[in-house]
Amino acid sequence: MSNDIARTYAGQPDITDQFTPGTNIKKTLRFFKQHFRNGDYTFGDLTVDYYNLTGEPLRNWRSDVNKYPKDVQEEIKRHIIYAMTRKDHSGNDDPTTISFKWEKVTDPKFVLCTYTPGPPPSYKIVISGYPNPQPTPLAERQGKY
């Protein structure tokens, strides 16, 4: 990935930040509800909306997320869907936080999800052997390249 592209969209910390407690996960839930139809949504769309990606940054993001094989996309989405559709005992939205970790691209290929019942409950999704987003937050990279 070139430096010009690297400065245009979310990095690893940004992706996890979308699913952290409080206003972040509520904002992500709002976008999720806009996209979630018939039990599915397009992989990568939550980040597109969360970070308001348009133009070249949007094209670069879509190109990179499409480097993940369809079955890998589906596995990651399966856990995100479950976390975002969680309800509390009263039937109110109660999305579960998610953190993401990427292993080296050269490591064996796998997606591993761990659920911790809490309190509060949370998921950790480890992605190995597939393209990694930048390791630094977008805001840190925007003025550098």
At 5 the pLDDT is 55
- Indicate the range of 33-37, 85-89, 93-97, 118-122 predicted with least confidence: 118-122
pLDDT digits (tens, 9 = 90+) for 1-30: 444 555 667 888 899 999 999 999 999 999
State how far the alpha carbon of 12 is from the alpha carbons of 20, 47, 87, in Å.
13, 11, 27
Number of domains in the chain: 1
Any domain includes 117: no
Give which of 126, 36, 115, 29 is closest to 72, Cα–Cα.
Answer: 126
> What is the predicted pLDDT for the residue at 79?
96
**pTM as predicted:** 0.88
pLDDT higher at 1 or 110: 110
Residue 11 domain-assigned (yes or no): yes
Answer whether residue 35 is part of any domain. Answer: yes
Q: Are 93 and 29 in contact (CB under 8 A)?
A: yes
In a domain, 32, yes or no: yes
For residue 65, being part of any structural domain is answered with: yes
Structural domain of 59: 3-95
- Across the range 83-104, mean pLDDT stands at 95
89 falls within a domain: yes
Query: Tell me, what's the pLDDT at 145?
Result: 47
> Does 107 map to a domain?
no
